[in-house]
Amino acid sequence: MPAALTLQSLPLFPLSAVLFPDGLLSLRVFEVRYLDMIAKCRKAGAPFGVVSLTKGSEVRQPGAQEAFSTVGTLATIHEFEQPQAGLMLVRATGAQRFRITASDQLKHGLWVADVEQVEPDLPVPIPEDLQGTSDALQRLIQSLQLRPEESGPMPLLPPWRLEDCGWVANRWCELLPLPVALKQRLMELDNPLVRLELVSDVLSRTGITT
């Protein structure tokens, strides 16, 4: 997504979750507004936008209002299954972060937005004092690889960029049971080193790292 590019009428999928760049998202889609959206995005090879809900629920309720964060992440579909009519199983990958400049809700409930990109994280090597955070993630990945039948599908996609602050911080943000609002704030940070420092503090308090 070049720096000068903006996207108009990007379809949005508000969720009670935060998608990080290079992250994995599994969706069970059954609402008409999203069935149509996913079908069109898949056919066109186009992304959709994932934003975290600040008001309302993932499933549309009559008369209920929906509100969501103004910073989200583009999602690209890489696995698709339709086991029955009215149900889609989707796995998508997080790509570029974006900021909403204008949004509108269509008649059938789908939100669309004009967005501009948020600059991607610059590559920042893991500093020595935070190496334990990366080492702990490496141990977790190795554990998941050794016991695939117990852990289910890998929650992380290779390549493992264990030397990069942003990648390591984002993967921990996905794996840790943090409040959605905190994950959102971490995702929006423009400094990957600061993001990793904050994640490292959480890991220290929970005893995952020392």
Domains of the chain by residue range:
6-117, 128-206
pLDDT class of 1 with cuts at 50, 70, 90 = very low
Residue 103 has pLDDT above 80, yes or no: yes
Torsion angles phi and psi, residue 161, rounded to 5: -95, 65
Residue 206 has pLDDT above 60, yes or no: yes
pLDDT of residue 150: 60
Residue 44: strand pairing partners: none
> What is the pLDDT averaged over residues 93-106?
96
DSSP 16: S
Tell the residue number behind the tokens 């992250």, with chain if given. 23
CA distance 33 to 119: 30
Q: What is the pLDDT of residues 41-77, one digit of tens each?
A: 999 999 999 999 999 887 777 777 899 999 999 999 9
C-alpha angle with apex 185: 184 to 188, nearest 5 degrees?
A: 85
- 6-117 placed in CATH 2.30.130.40: yes
Torsion angles phi and psi, residue 144, rounded to 5: -65, -35
Q: Which of 1-15, 38-52, 62-76, 189-203 has the lowest mean pLDDT?
A: 1-15
Burial class (CB in 10 A: 0-12, 13-18, 19+), 16: exposed
Return all residues near 65 (Cβ < 8 A) that are at least 6 apart.
55, 56
CA distance 153 to 53: 26
128-206: CATH topology: LON domain-like fold (1.10.4060)
AA letter at 17: A
Per DSSP, the three-state class of 9 is strand
Burial class (CB in 10 A: 0-12, 13-18, 19+), 98: buried
- Full-model pTM: 0.90
Cβ(55)–Cβ(66) under 8 Å?
yes
> What is the pLDDT averaged over residues 170-183?
95
- Compute the mean pLDDT over every residue in the chain, rounded to the nearest whole number: 91
pLDDT of residue 3: 42
pLDDT of residue 62: 72
Distances in Å between the Cα of 53 and the Cα atoms of 104, 140, 187, 210 are 15, 29, 14, 34
